[in-house]
Structure 1
């Protein structure tokens, strides 16, 4: 576990309509977010001022807050130098320093500000991330590299502010790191025993448990 997790920045956004010139079709997403200063209220399903356009696949109790490691952006900059990768580029609410997917686990509980947050699942990148940056293979590369980030549920509502530290207070499942969960979900061929083990984790999000059960 990293000694210190720093909350570098906080981002929020609202749904916008984009036009796909190739398919002559509009699509909607809140993936473009802007950084905010000062304290931000964290509710049970989102941060104040943050919205999701697709409430089937985003938001809700298990996906209230999206976090992404800042350290990954230097790796993406090497692979895709045409993009100026900045905090929030992946549509995350929290950009974190000093941590990656090997350092944190499903079920980990953190205190930050006056909030208590718990990791619920890795992020599963969708096509909208690729569309956002005009890189058709980006979502696939995120899956292949396992540099997905993760979602958090809110156990206690409160306020957070950029510059604060996240403190791990409880680790329930040290065997289920974010990296391991990604390896299980994206495994080809499927590893049934790992599917069953991870699906049995009560702190894993309902959607991931249902997928692994199938």
Structure 2
């Protein structure tokens, strides 16, 4: 984490999966439509009262908290000339001064009474397009690396909409979320980059597994 500016929690939202109507009246069950709350208790599995519809790709201890930078809202709204709803990306925390280029895997933050640790970039899915009624948003998120990211919970505790967030510990390896995203999506054959990512012990287990498999295939070719 390289930014020293104060972090501001702009929006704090949770929500259980519900039916969402999109397109020309189609329906799907999703946890993306979060609602602002004043307070929620954060457990190792996530916020009480929060949930996901598809457990294969969302949720679990390595993905207990979803964070999205507030600055990107302005970027997307300018690009597409349309406003976005609050927590448009299904994030729990919409924050300032915590961009993907500045936040590193393994960084530890105080969040209200809880302590969280960054584990991986968010892998966005097509639900984002349906939620925002924008067929190209997912593609642009992947291109820019403006995905947001996920965290595990090191210490459980209450979080409020006016809670302070501050960096407690910067990870010494300094592998940013943006770099991780770049390797995941755009540089899947870069051996050195993958090794640098795998050197971060705190990386989410699922990413470790995937990156180890990639590395094995790449090194067996040499």
Q: State the TM-score, normalized to the length of structure 1.
A: 0.91
CA contact (8 A) 2:114 2:158 kept: yes
Partners of 1:67 and 1:94 within 8 A in 2: yes
The residue number in structure 2 matching 1:9 is 11
Judging by fraction of residues, say which structure has more helix.
2
Find the counterpart in structure 1 of residue 56 from structure 2: 56
Q: Distance in 2 between matches of 1:197 and 1:42?
A: 31
Distance 1:21 1:184, change over 3 A: closer
4+ runs deviating over 6 angstroms: none
Looking at structure 1, the residues matched to 150 and 159 of structure 2 have their Cα atoms a distance apart, in angstroms, of 16
Give the superposed CA RMSD.
1.8
Secondary structure of residue in 2 paired with 1:5: coil
Q: Which range moves more in the overlay, 54-63 or 166-175?
A: 166-175
CA distance in 2, matches of 1:18, 1:132: 8
8 Å CA contact retained: 2:44, 2:153: yes
Tell me which residue corresponds to 2:150: 151
Q: How far, CA to CA, are the matches of 1:110 and 1:141 in structure 2?
A: 28
Flag structure 2 segments of 5+ consecutive residues without an equivalent: 214-222
Q: 2:28 aligns to what?
A: 27
**SS across alignment from 2:142:** helix
- Unmatched 5+ residue regions in structure 1? none
Task: Indicate the residue corresponding to 1:42 in structure 2.
Answer: 42
Question: Which residue pairs with 2:185 in the alignment?
Answer: 186
Alpha carbons of structure 1 residues 25 and 34: separation in structure 2 relative to 1, 3 Å: closer
Give, in angstroms, the shift of residue 17 of structure 1. 2.5
| 2:217 matched residue in structure 1 | none
The answer to whether the 8 Å contact 2:89/2:128 transfers is yes
**What is the CA–CA distance in structure 1 between the aligned matches of 2:22 and 2:189, rounded to whole Å?**
34
CA distance in 2, matches of 1:9, 1:173: 29
Does residue 162 (structure 1) correspond to residue 164 (structure 2)? The answer is no
The residue aligned with 2:220 is none
Aligned to 1:213: 212
After TM superposition, give the deviation of residue 164 of structure 1 in Å. Answer: 2.4
Alpha-carbon distance in 1 for matches of 2:195, 2:21: 41
Task: Report if the CA contact (8 A) 2:23-2:130 is conserved.
Answer: no
2:81 equivalent to 1:81: yes
TM-score norm. by structure 2 comes to 0.88
8 A contact 1:62–1:153 mirrored in 2: yes
Partner secondary structure for residue 29 of structure 2: strand
1:132 match: 131
**Aligned equivalents of 2:86 and 2:172: distance in 1?**
29
Give the match's secondary structure for 1:72.
Answer: helix
- Per the alignment, do residues 184 and 73 of structure 1 end up closer, same or farther by CA in structure 2, a change over 3 Å counting? same
Count of aligned positions: 211
CA distance in 1, matches of 2:16, 2:188: 38
